[in-house]
Amino acid sequence: MEDGQKTTILTIPPEVTVNILEYLLADHTPSKSPYANLLPVTQTSTHLRQTALSAPALWSKIEINDKPASFNFAKLCLSRSGNHKLDISIRVLKKMEAKIKGLLALLQYVSPRTRSLSMKLSFTGVGQWEVWWDSLEALDYRALEALNFEVWHREVGTAGTMALSNAIPLPDQTSPLRSLSLVHASLQLSDSPVLSNLTILKLSSASFWDWPYFDLFEVLRNSTALEELELRGVGLRECRRSYSASQLPAVPRLEHPNLRRLSLIAVENNMLARVLTSLTAPNLETVSLDTPDELKNDVELVWDDLPQVAPFSTVRSLFVTNRPSSISPHQDQYAHFLAKMFPGVEELELPVARCGSMFMAWAEHVQIAINPWKDLRSVVLNYPDGLCVIWAQDVLSETLCFLVARKRQDSPPLERLHLGVCSRCPSSGQDFLLSRIQKLMRSKADLQVSEVSH
């Protein structure tokens, strides 16, 4: 640096310099340490280094992983963090038996000022988990606002994740806990007081469906302040409970007046249907739906037989990642179910392998009174890994049918349409269909075409 630049840096108030350095902490990818950008900058100037060392807020992110050096650096950060609230991240997947005592001692020491706690842990044997569970119950959660717990529990010599014998203990209702994310773990119904304060709840597992069916809905029912809800089936290969539409068990109504975002990812057909038909969310804005392609014993749900409920008229964004493979005999009904449940959609995303059947269902079944999505402005077709999984010309033809049907219903033209062309598919037909699609758009610039591989 030149002398003039050094003078400028020295004249900046320390609190402003700290604010600038805090941006470096926030600007990092999940795969890198939060200090990856900060440390090199502090070494460019003695003044910057001293300013950083004297700011506890810059050392409040504690990360521990399987590398031995992470433990030493965590101790260094703790010594510099003063009394500042801490964001703790522990990711230990190897040799837990040699590290468990040290990790628990650390958590006990820092728990009174831990603001967020993220743990991804792999246990081998029931004994390790029970030791950890007993220690979690004894922690002081007075400052905890966010808890993210992902647990892998395997017996030595076996493959796969095992169900936990104990549910995750949560802080009492005096805790400021607002965000909770659990992977391969369940909750205790006795934790309902703290559930009522949550604004974010994410449950992900192949085994949490093994809860008693009603316990899961009781957890959802008690989480009345939610703004974001996600249920994700991780590693789900077989449907645990197969119900037809007429046999879906009665569950409590889910009243969520503040819910803005709902994600049902890789869940069974009957669970997706049961949540959507039990939920009241007058301010819901964004919905993501996905069910597994290969799910053993999943029911062929007759969507027309589902109970009639009020639609989610406030939803503006709908992301359908995958059409349930097991509803093939009723695929038109599923398309109509979506249109009825979310009549005010403005932004729609579909997987290219499933869009054709939906487009044709929305375009052809005029005898079924469905909302034609007059508010629809944007349609994006997603191509997995940039691949053309079916003939691109068929996708263009089905998209054209959908746009023509919308025009006949006096729906406004789309303001954005993203689709793909494939050089290995018949090109003459693609060019003709693209020109017709383009004429049905608001303007030529609203059609976005990308090259995909066959």
Rounded distance between C-alpha atoms, residue 318 and residue 287, angstroms? 5
Query: What are the structure tokens assigned to 48, written together?
Result: 């910057």
Query: What are the structure tokens assigned to 157, written together?
Result: 């010599």
Classify strands 447-452 and 261-265 as parallel, antiparallel or unpaired. unpaired
pLDDT tens by residue, 143-189: 999 999 888 766 554 444 444 555 677 776 667 899 999 887 777 66
Q: Yes or no: say if 402 and 362 are a contact pair by the CB < 8 Å rule.
A: yes
Rounded distance between C-alpha atoms, residue 95 and residue 166, angstroms? 22
Among 102-116, 249-263, 290-304, the range scoring the smallest mean pLDDT is: 290-304
- pLDDT of residue 291 exceeding 80: no
How far out from the chain centre does Cα 311 lie? 23
Question: End-to-end CA distance of the chain, in Å?
Answer: 53
**What is the value of pTM for the model shown?**
0.85
For residue 155, the model assigns a pLDDT of 56
Residues 6+ apart with CB under 8 A from 68: none
Rounded distance between C-alpha atoms, residue 445 and residue 343, angstroms? 27
For residue 261, the model assigns a pLDDT of 98
* Strand ranges inside 168-271, DSSP E: 179-183, 200-204, 228-232, 254-255, 261-265
For residue 166, the model assigns a pLDDT of 58
Compute how many other C-beta atoms are within 10 angstroms of the C-beta atom of residue 191.
20
Check the CA dihedral 208-209-211-214 and report its sign.
positive
Local confidence band at 137 (pLDDT 50, 70, 90 cut-offs): confident
pLDDT tens by residue, 180-203: 998 877 776 666 678 888 999 998
Rounded distance between C-alpha atoms, residue 268 and residue 237, angstroms? 10
The segment with the largest mean pLDDT, out of 32-46, 243-257, 323-337, 345-359, is 345-359
Q: Yes or no: say if 255 and 247 are a contact pair by the CB < 8 Å rule.
A: no
Q: What is the CA radius of gyration of the chain?
A: 26
For residue 369, the model assigns a pLDDT of 46
Helix, strand or coil for residue 173? Answer: coil
Rounded distance between C-alpha atoms, residue 97 and residue 13, angstroms? 48
Rounded distance between C-alpha atoms, residue 84 and residue 78, angstroms? 10
Q: Comparing 152 with 60, which gets the higher pLDDT?
A: 60
Q: Comparing 297 with 344, which gets the higher pLDDT?
A: 344
Query: What are the structure tokens assigned to 436, written together?
Result: 């017709």
Compute how many other C-beta atoms are within 10 angstroms of the C-beta atom of residue 299.
21
Question: 374 — phi, psi (to 5°)?
Answer: -65, -20
Q: Yes or no: say if 79 and 110 are a contact pair by the CB < 8 Å rule.
A: no
Rounded distance between C-alpha atoms, residue 288 and residue 260, angstroms? 12
User: Roughly what angle, to the nearest 10 degrees, separates helices 96-110 and 126-137?
Assistant: 0
Percent of the chain with pLDDT over 90: 22
pLDDT tens by residue, 195-250: 888 999 998 876 555 555 567 888 888 899 999 999 987 765 555 555 555 566 67
Of 413, 342, 339, the residue nearest 369 (C-alpha): 339
Q: Comparing 166 with 442, which gets the higher pLDDT?
A: 442
Rounded (to 5) percent helix, strand, coil in the chain: 40, 20, 40
Which stretch of DSSP H or E encloses residue 436?
helix 427-439
- pLDDT of residue 131 exceeding 60: yes
Among 76-85, 148-157, 409-418, the range scoring the smallest mean pLDDT is: 148-157
Q: Yes or no: say if 302 and 330 are a contact pair by the CB < 8 Å rule.
A: yes
Helix, strand or coil for residue 292? Answer: coil
Query: What are the structure tokens assigned to 158, written together?
Result: 């076996």
Report DSSP letters for 88-156, one per residue.
Answer: EEEEE-S-HHHHHHHHHHHHHHHGGGEEEEEEEEEEESHHHHHHHHHHHHTS--TT--EEEEEEEEE-T
* Residue where the block lists tokens 């009243």: 255
Helix, strand or coil for residue 234? Answer: coil
